[in-house]
Structures are given as structure tokens and as C-alpha cells.
Amino acid sequence: MKKLIGIVAALLLVASTAFAETAIKVNGSTTVLPIMQKVVEAYMKAHPDVKISVSGGGSGNGIKSLIDGSTDIAMASRAMEQKEIDLAKSKGENPVQTVVAIDAIVPIVNPANKLEAVNLEQLKELYTGKVTSWKDLGGTGPVVVISRDTSSGTYECWENLVMKKAHVFPGALMQASNGAVVQAVSKNKNAIGYIGLGYLDASTKPLSVNGVKATAETAKSKKYPISRDLYIYTNGAPAGAVKGLVDFLLGAEGQKLVKAVGYVPLS
């Protein structure tokens, strides 16, 4: 009897270990989130033995989770900073970057707004609070500035590519996700915001920037001035079950899903 109990206990231990090896946690950017949700759904359908949880929260939070070892994959819409890499290494982590898609950050307004185009300087003036009335850009009414919050990789890319060392002014209404920005702009005729390419829909109107519309082609060629790569980070080169997921994401089927959710595949 004792021998039988020992065998059962050993089998349960093996089973629990196997489950632990196939449980993957993914956390981070809400820009990359739609890509990962689609990819994970397809991957788990083909690999029912692999359990994957996916959550947003922003690039900064995903990177923090990777550094403290609470996630296997961090989604990020901006590259890790050197101070983050140094902190990770001090904790025994080795962040490895993988580009998974291409994106464009698109300024959006309410469909009631007659504005069709802006340039980078005008965007900077809007987001520093220098321009406060749409009258200055040929419209009417006060400008309501909608921005991502500071934990967002999209926010950091916006500051680097548009603000050029200036900061978004304190009067901006900060939102925690791309979806929240879309909702805020769609409900306010005076609002302007910015989102990833995959979040464009009929509830808002995209603006061209420097005479260039944000499309898959202009984002990939970097002709569109607010283009960027999208990333995932792992602790070391992807291995085991994580490698299986990453290989699927970078493969033909995964890249088709990138395109299906509105982003630009790598090839």
C-alpha cells in the first residue's frame, strides 16, 4: 500500500512539474496586446497542453515584471532603457529583445473635427499646451488633449519622436490604454489623442502627419514620421515552451495574425 501511495505521489509530482513547464505568463504593452491575444488564442488551440495568460498594463509594467521575474514575456512598444537593462542584470535577468511587428503612432480627432492633417511642430504645440484653440488650426472650439500615461511605451515614443525633449503639458488627460484614448476622443468633438495603428476604427479620424498618411507601407518604409518597431522581451533567448510561442508569432501564421489585427508584419 505504501508503495502504491509513493507511486501515485510521484506521478502527481511529475504532472505538476509538467504543467509548470507549460504555463507561460505574458504582460505589458496595450499596443502589442491585440497581437498577442490573437497569437495566444491560435497557439493554445493548436497546443492545448500549453497554458498562457496575457495581460496589459503598459510597456513599463511589462518590463518591470520581467525584471522581477513575475512574467515570462514582456510586451513593449518601446525599447528597454539602459538603466532597465542594468537593473535586470543586477537581479540575474538577461533581457533579450525580439522585434515582432511594425507600428505607426497615429494622431486622432473626433470625426466632427474638420482637420485632416498636421505636422510634427503643430503636434508638439498642441501637446505642450501652446495651442489651446482649434481656431489656430482652422477649426473651432477649445482643444482637449488626450495622452497616454507615463508607464506607456507609446507615451515614451511620442515624447521622443514628437515632443523632442519637451514634455506633455499637465493639462492633458492621461489614459491607461489605447482603447481608452479611442473612447475619450470618440466622445469629445474637441479632443485629440494618439494611438497605435491597430486601434484605428470608424469612431475616430486619423490625421496625416507631414503630408504622409499612416499605412502599412509608410510605416514599414519609415516614410511616416511616427513609425516604430514593436517588441517582446524574454529572460535570455526564448527556450522551451516560450520558444514555441515566439517561433509561432514570428512564423507565417503568426505574422498573418499581426496583419489581421491592423499592424504591419515583418515580411
Where are the chain's structural domains? 2-102+230-260, 103-227
Tell me what pLDDT residue 8 has. 44
Neighbours of 237 (CB within 10 A): 11
Q: What is the pLDDT of residues 38-83, one digit of tens each?
A: 999 999 999 999 999 999 989 999 999 999 999 999 999 999 999 9
Q: At 121, is the secondary structure helix, strand, or coil?
A: helix
Q: Which fold has domain 103-227?
A: D-Maltodextrin-Binding Protein; domain 2 (3.40.190)
Burial 154-176 (b: 16+ CB within 10 A, else e): bbbbbbebbbeeeebeeebebbe
Q: Which three cell numbers stand for residue 140?
A: 473651432
Q: Which of 173, 228, 195 lies closest to 34, judged by CA?
A: 195
Q: What is the pLDDT of residues 95-146, one digit of tens each?
A: 999 999 999 999 999 999 999 999 999 999 999 999 999 999 999 999 999 9
pLDDT for 151 beyond 60: yes
Report the distance separating Cα 114 and Cα 112, nearest Å.
6
Q: At 72, is the secondary structure helix, strand, or coil?
A: coil
Tell me what pLDDT residue 267 has. 85
Report the distance separating Cα 94 and Cα 78, nearest Å.
17
- Kindly report the pTM of this predicted structure: 0.86
The CATH number of 2-102+230-260, from 3.40.50.300, 3.30.1360.120, 3.10.20.30, 3.40.190.10, is 3.40.190.10
183: alpha, beta or left, given left = phi > 0 and alpha = psi -120 to 50? alpha
pLDDT for 177 beyond 60: yes
Q: Could you tell me the sign of the dihedral formed by the alpha carbons of 243, 244, 245, 249, in that order?
A: positive
Do 103-227 and 2-102+230-260 have the same topology in CATH?
A: yes
Report the distance separating Cα 77 and Cα 263, nearest Å.
12
